[in-house]
Amino acid sequence: MRRKMCGIAGYIGDKKAPIILFEMLKRLEYRGYDSAGIACISKGRIIVSKDKGRVDDVRKKINFKKVPASVGIAHNRWATHGIPSHENSHPHQDCSKNFAVVHNGIIENYKDLKEELLQLGHKFRSGTDTEVIPHLIEEFYKEKKNFEYSFVNAIRKLRGSFAIAAISSNESDRILVARKESPLMIGIGKGENFIASDMPAIIPYTRNVIVLDDFDYGILGRDSVQLKDIQTGDELKRDIQRVSWGLEEARKEGYEHFMLKEIFEEPDAVRNALKGADEAERIASKLAEYKRIYLVACGTASYAGMVGRYLLERFGISADAITASEFRYSTINILDEKTAVILISQSGETADTIASAKGAREKGAYLAAVVNVVGSTLTRISDDVIYTYSGPEIAVASTKAYIGQLVSLTLIALFLAMERERITREYTNEILDDLNGIPDKIQSILHEEREIKRLAQRLARKNIFFYIGRRLGYPTALEGALKIKEISYVHAEAYPAGELKHGPLALLEKGVPVIAITPNDDLLEKMESNIEEAKARGATILTVGESGELNVPITDSLLTPITYIVPLHLLAYYISTAKGFDPDKPRNLAKSVTVE
């Protein structure tokens, strides 16, 4: 199931809908926070208040005290199609403004549907995929003047994933909802009912919840909930669950921390980043025109950049990966219009990375950005953008976003190598097939969670860690070391394994843990002799590999950075919790370093 992160909510009852809806949105804000909006039925009309920005910003836009309304829907957006703006924020309406819709998911066939509706004379106000839904409802409404009939027929035309809520000023005693792949649940109250993407928005009002299944649709009244099958229209029976979770626990969907939840979203992070394949191919064809390529980023993103460099070099393509805070003051001096710069950033707001982009732009370089947050500053400076679609990453320590960056950079490297005729289309397709199999390989690593937790508890008292790797294993070692440093506050060094004997070996002594990245490739023997060197000094060796203490399923050597980091993310997380720290909020650090 592809996980999309926006938040939708709805209320029908006898209380003031706007107040309840804004409260519900606040509790969904962690799911998406680049725009928000609500639509309520008041005196036979639909009133909409929406805008770019946080829930509190939108709440200030309209004084709902003057708008008596007891039915409404609401939405927090995590942009995927169309940058954050007033027009692109939900709810969306049809031409007549008799309908309003909120949606979480991706309508894959929206371009065709939009074309059909434009031919029928519909006018669109946004660049979103969602806006086709209210216009479809409006079109079908002409046939029978029936909201449910129009809603179901509109939904049946959609391909892709959706959690939808819709209201109509023609039939103001109901909210219609539907679900396919994106989460949606109903809260059953007394004389009132609620809908939401997630428990946190519902449990302050009721703990009686129905979780909708794929292809369910529902008709919510104040005192009634009817569920039917989208495809057949048959009535459905769904159990009412009694929810015991607390609010905070619900936001983490039962995980103890956001970081653990986000590590368990890493299979989805691969699936979501693969949606950028067409964009990667387009960007690669532009990159092929440039002599010099730099991959520029900070922190974890810079290690993804190093992986990109090694992949390009594997295909005989020259590239350099440089930390943004160095690039902007030195490498910037040798840039020209024959240079391409690939900037990598989860937030798209990192000061050094943005400064590097601006400097490179002044030198006439071509800028391509690999970013998670849609519409962020870096995306507006760059010539092209490939989104990782990882969803909001709440924990300060980056995990699923790193996985998304690796997938995006692997796609770019493959298509660029193909463009430069270093590899064939067949080989590229083979690797793309392997990429499609990576989510299951990550899932199998996540099933080893208990063993990794036990190993972490054994290592929790160590006061230094060494990570060693070669070639693609070296950035993996760097990322593994950074994760331990930033959430467990323990010193961890990452080295190219070949460097040990040039000094670091002097630091090894009995019991020092050395984590060796040992993919089964042409450098395995070299790694094994480095391991022997370390073992001879009494080090405790932990290998990450196909038969390692940290076990990883067989993976094409090009894709090992994606799978080999997963056990190291889990290891760092469990060492942090074993030491009694909160991995989500590490001391001294911020999620996005917007200052230099």
State the Cα–Cα distance between residues 322 and 324, nearest whole angstrom. 6
Write the DSSP symbol of residue 5.
-
Catalytic residue among 15, 61, 157, 591: 591
- Which of 555, 393, 418 is closest to 30 using CA atoms? 393
Long-range contacts, 85-88 (Cβ 8 Å, 24+): 85/35, 85/52, 85/375, 86/35, 86/50, 86/51, 86/52, 87/125, 87/126, 87/127, 88/35, 88/126, 88/127, 88/128
Q: How far is the CB of 467 from ligand AGP (least distance, A)?
A: 15
Residue where the block lists tokens 């208990």: 450
Question: Which residue type sits at 455?
Answer: L
Q: How far is the CB of 344 from ligand AGP (least distance, A)?
A: 7
Q: Is there binding between residue 260 and ligand AGP (CB under 6 A)?
A: no
- Residue 561: asked if its preceding bond is cis (omega within 30°), the reply is no
Q: How far is the CB of 287 from ligand AGP (least distance, A)?
A: 21
Stretch that binds ligand AGP, among 79-87, 156-164, 294-302, 446-454 (CB under 6 A): 294-302
Write the DSSP symbol of residue 213.
P
How many binding residues for ligand AGP (CB under 6 A)? 15
Give the contacts of 279 (CB within 8 A, at least 6 positions apart): 384, 385, 386, 387
**Is 6 among the residues known to form the active site?**
yes
Angle at 594 between CA 591 and CA 596, to 5 degrees: 120
* Binding mask of the shown chain, residues 298 to 337, with x at each position contacting ligand AGP by CB under 6 A: xxxx------------------------------------
HSE, side-chain direction, 13 A CA sphere, residue 271: 14
Q: Is there binding between residue 350 and ligand AGP (CB under 6 A)?
A: yes
Q: How far is the CB of 66 from ligand AGP (least distance, A)?
A: 41
**Is 591 among the residues known to form the active site?**
yes
Catalogue the E-assigned strands of 462-512.
464-469, 491-496
Q: How far is the CB of 392 from ligand AGP (least distance, A)?
A: 12
Stretch that binds ligand AGP, among 96-104, 293-301, 418-426, 559-567 (CB under 6 A): 293-301
Q: How far is the CB of 407 from ligand AGP (least distance, A)?
A: 15
Q: Is the CB of 102 or the CB of 322 nearer to ligand AGP?
A: 322
Stretch that binds ligand AGP, among 33-41, 52-60, 267-275, 292-300 (CB under 6 A): 292-300
Would you call 164 helix, strand, or coil by DSSP?
A: strand
Q: Is the CB of 64 or the CB of 78 nearer to ligand AGP?
A: 78
Q: Is there binding between residue 341 and ligand AGP (CB under 6 A)?
A: no
Q: Is the CB of 268 or the CB of 486 nearer to ligand AGP?
A: 486
- Which of 199, 206, 192 is closest to 17 using CA atoms? 192
Q: Is there binding between residue 347 and ligand AGP (CB under 6 A)?
A: yes
> Catalytic amino acids?
6, 591
Contacting residues toward ligand AGP, per CB under 6 A: 298-301, 345-347, 350, 353, 396-398, 486, 592-593
